[in-house]
Amino acid sequence: MIGAMTREDSTLPLEILAVWVVFAVVAVEILVTYWRLAPSELYHVSGSGLEGGASRALVFSNFPTALVAIAVLALLWDRLRGTAADAAVVGVALCAAVFWPGVVDQADLDARPVNVVAAVGVLVAAVLSALVRRRGTRIERWHPSDRARVVVAAAALFIGLPWIAAELGFFLDGVPVLGTIFRTERWSSGDQIMPPPVVHHGHHHGMDGVLLVLSALLLSRVVPSVRRSRLRVAIGAYLSLMLAYGAANIANDFWTEQAVKRGWTRWLFPDVLRPSLTIAWGLIVLAAALIYAAARAGNGMKPREKPSSR
């Protein structure tokens, strides 16, 4: 059963606005860094200058931005009517192009015409967010589960410091404290005269994981305000999977750079970037189910109580 839409329901949650701000900042960082640095200092790109920066930013609009835009569009759809609601459905379909194999290839991160499809979907999400923003904004009230959100977000951001630095085009070596905790510049690789850096300049899939985790934490605060019960369940499950997937990519990239490349171990954390029928992906799905169950148990997915009218 769908409750009547109140003025509060029709406004834009500030959590969605916060997600857009974070992604806009990262997109600008990518544009500038890939513009000013040579492709040899980056990862699997060939372009340089403004064209190279725009190319990598376009790929970023596909992965991971389109994944997050799908959740944003679903939340907006619950607040829209008529043509705008139809546009949200079209936006989800466009963003879903990122799931097609080969649309984003880690081995070749130069933009291709196919990347425009999901980018248009992201643009639809941004425009609809701006339209809803005109009705005003609101933020969900504090919930006990937010303490866990703050802890997880802080941990993800701390682990992501080497990738944030890389995105800006510099290493952490030499930075007090952080240069000791994290290894980012050079690592010994056999007889190589000039071994590659531990953390290459530019964007990392570990940073994608950080963005997915932060987005899931923010957007999950909005789930209780979704009026349609089935949609609320679907969005909650999707964000739970996003959180688990993002955390797994953080673990994979961080472990490779800060443990394996230091020579502490030869064991590699499984690559989970692409969904596959593997034990690692089975664990991601299991973790997502546990996250969702914990959120339900803690009333994190419970519909927001409406004030009674007399």
How many CB atoms lie under 10 A from the CB of residue 230? 8
Residue 310: pLDDT band by 50, 70, 90 thresholds?
A: very low
CA distance 225 to 300: 11
Residue range 271-285, pLDDT digits in tens: 999 999 999 999 999
Structural domain containing residue 245: 7-297
> Which DSSP state fits 137?
E
Going by C-alpha positions, the residue among 255, 278, 260 that lies closest to residue 209 is 255
Q: Could you tell me where the DSSP H helices lie in the chain?
A: 7-10, 14-36, 49-62, 65-77, 82-95, 115-133, 146-159, 161-168, 178-181, 205-219, 229-255, 279-297
What's the sign of the alpha-carbon dihedral 31, 36, 38, 42?
Answer: negative
What is the reported pTM? 0.92
Residue 64 belongs to some domain of the structure: yes
How many CB atoms lie under 10 A from the CB of residue 105? 14
Residue 310 belongs to some domain of the structure: no
Residue 66 belongs to some domain of the structure: yes
The burial of 20, by beta-carbon neighbours within 10 Å (0-12 exposed, 13-18 middle, 19 or more buried), is given as buried
CA distance 156 to 242: 14
Structure confidence at residue 309 (pLDDT): 38
Residue 262 belongs to some domain of the structure: yes
Hey, what are 139's tokens?
A: 């933020």
Total domain count for the chain? 1
Going by C-alpha positions, the residue among 273, 280, 289 that lies closest to residue 238 is 289
Using the predicted structure, report yes or no on whether residue 193 has a pLDDT greater than 90: no
Residue 307 belongs to some domain of the structure: no
Residue 52 belongs to some domain of the structure: yes
Residue range 15-55, pLDDT digits in tens: 999 999 999 999 999 999 999 999 999 999 999 999 999 99
Q: How remote is the C-alpha of 93 from its chain's centroid?
A: 18
Q: For the chain, report the end-to-end CA distance as a whole number of angstroms.
A: 21
Average pLDDT, integer, range 115-134: 97
Tell me whether the omega of the peptide bond preceding residue 64 falls within 30 degrees of 0, making it cis: yes
Residue 264 belongs to some domain of the structure: yes
Residue 2 belongs to some domain of the structure: no
Using the predicted structure, report yes or no on whether residue 299 has a pLDDT greater than 80: no
